[in-house]
């Protein structure tokens, strides 16, 4: 089924109702997507995403839709509600947006972002967050996270800008060897044609993003979006003014960070500070301990971190 003929569900949310009414009035007026897009000075792909509730609604378009379709202010009123509406499938929606972003900016204050995690690092996080989980559930989650990293293989690949608090480097998630491999996987990303990694040192002190994380997504054919995350919560932000505010804060944070060269030096320093002997991790189940030990010995993880190999291949 094509996107143009996708069934609409106006009962789901105001965003969906907006799209439903837009398609209904456009078709009643005998206008194609391309024709309406020309009238409102937009692109047909953007109008199509608004109709199917798959894209954010730019603040200047509702009034233009009202005039173009003789809607008597209906779209302007619906927009006032839709712009404050939390997306019902925000995490799924975030992943869809992430998959088509041309630029991805990430700030992480506690753990390495999922897009550049190694399998072992991700596995340790899933185990500790759900100690009652089965091995099959854990591996399913790890596979899904690694699958997200496939977008880094795209041609062209998105540009990745990562800001890490120094605390991320100093917390040995999974144990010393797992953490050492994770830090090693970050080094090729620190200053490459498609990525940069910068560290905000602990001695900088407080900053606007303490206690959470942020992902900024920018696209070739539409407005930007952002995803803020805290402990067990996440908020998808698509309203232009709010995204712009987060973008300015992210840019300010970059001015606090070390250069890519000095950031690489700090990553290497954190690697060197890790002990070489294996130390059992408290809180991990027996199966997890054994898997991490096996991977430390190289029995299950012969190929190294996926992102590391990808970057090495592109170098």
* pLDDT at res. 155: 84
Residue pLDDT, tens place only, 120-143: 999 999 999 888 888 888 888 888
Residue pLDDT, tens place only, 189-248: 999 999 999 999 988 878 877 778 899 999 887 778 888 887 667 788 888 888 889 999
Q: For residues 301 and 297, what is the distance between their CA atoms, to the nearest angstrom? A: 8
Tokens, residue 209: 């993003």
In terms of Cα–Cα distance, which of 78, 67, 63 is closest to 20? 78
In terms of Cα–Cα distance, which of 162, 159, 115 is closest to 257? 162
Q: Where are the alpha helices (DSSP H) in the chain?
A: 14-28, 33-39, 44-51, 61-69, 74-82, 90-100, 119-129, 135-148, 166-170, 176-186, 240-256, 260-273, 286-296, 306-314
In terms of Cα–Cα distance, which of 15, 24, 28 is closest to 54? 15
Contact 182, 117 (CB under 8 A): yes
Structural domains in the chain, sorted by start: 3-82 (1.10.260.40), 90-314 (3.30.870)
Q: Which segment of 16-20, 57-61, 154-158, 159-163 scores lowest on mean pLDDT?
A: 57-61
Q: Is the pLDDT of residue 295 over 60?
A: no
Whether pTM > 0.75 for this model: the answer is: no
Stated as kind and residue range, the H or E segment containing 1 is: none
Residue pLDDT, tens place only, 80-106: 887 766 555 667 778 878 888 999 999
> What b/e string do you get for 31-53 counting C-beta neighbours within 10 Å, with b at 16 or more?
bebeebbeebebeeebbbbbbbb
Tokens, residue 76: 């302007």
> What b/e string do you get for 149-160 counting C-beta neighbours within 10 Å, with b at 16 or more?
bebbeeeebbbb
């Amino acid at each position: 089924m094509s996107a143009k003929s996708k069934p609409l569900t106006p009962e789901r949310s105001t965003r969906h109702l907006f799209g439903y009414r837009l398609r209904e009035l456009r078709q009643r007026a005998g206008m194609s997507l391309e024709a309406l897009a020309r009238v409102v000075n937009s692109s047909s792909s953007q109008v199509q995403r608004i109709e199917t509730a798959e894209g954010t609604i730019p603040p200047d378009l509702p009034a233009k839709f009202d005039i173009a379709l003789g809607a008597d202010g209906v779209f302007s009123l619906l927009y006032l509600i839709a712009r404050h509406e939390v997306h019902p499938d925000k995490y799924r929606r975030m992943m869809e947006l992430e998959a088509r972003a041309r630029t991805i900016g990430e700030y992480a204050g506690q753990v390495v972002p999922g897009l550049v995690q190694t399998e072992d690092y991700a596995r340790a996080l899933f185990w500790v967050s759900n100690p009652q989980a089965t091995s099959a559930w854990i591996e399913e989650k790890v596979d899904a996270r690694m699958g997200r990293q496939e977008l880094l293989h795209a041609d062209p690949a998105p540009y990745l800008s990562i800001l890490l608090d120094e605390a991320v480097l100093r917390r040995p998630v999974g144990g010393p060897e797992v953490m050492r491999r994770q830090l090693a996987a970050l080094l090729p990303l620190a200053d490459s044609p498609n990525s940069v990694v910068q560290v905000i040192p602990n001695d900088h002190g407080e900053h606007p993003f303490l206690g959470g994380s942020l992902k900024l997504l920018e696209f070739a054919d539409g407005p930007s979006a952002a995803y803020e995350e805290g402990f067990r919560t996440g908020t998808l932000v698509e309203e232009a003014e709010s995204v712009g505010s987060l973008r300015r804060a992210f840019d300010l944070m970059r001015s606090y960070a070390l250069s890519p060269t000095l950031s690489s030096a700090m990553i290497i320093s954190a690697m060197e500070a890790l002990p070489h002997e294996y130390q059992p991790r408290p809180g991990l189940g027996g199966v997890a301990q054994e898997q991490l030990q096996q991977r430390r010995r190289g029995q299950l993880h012969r190929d190294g971190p996926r992102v590391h190999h990808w970057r090495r291949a592109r170098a």
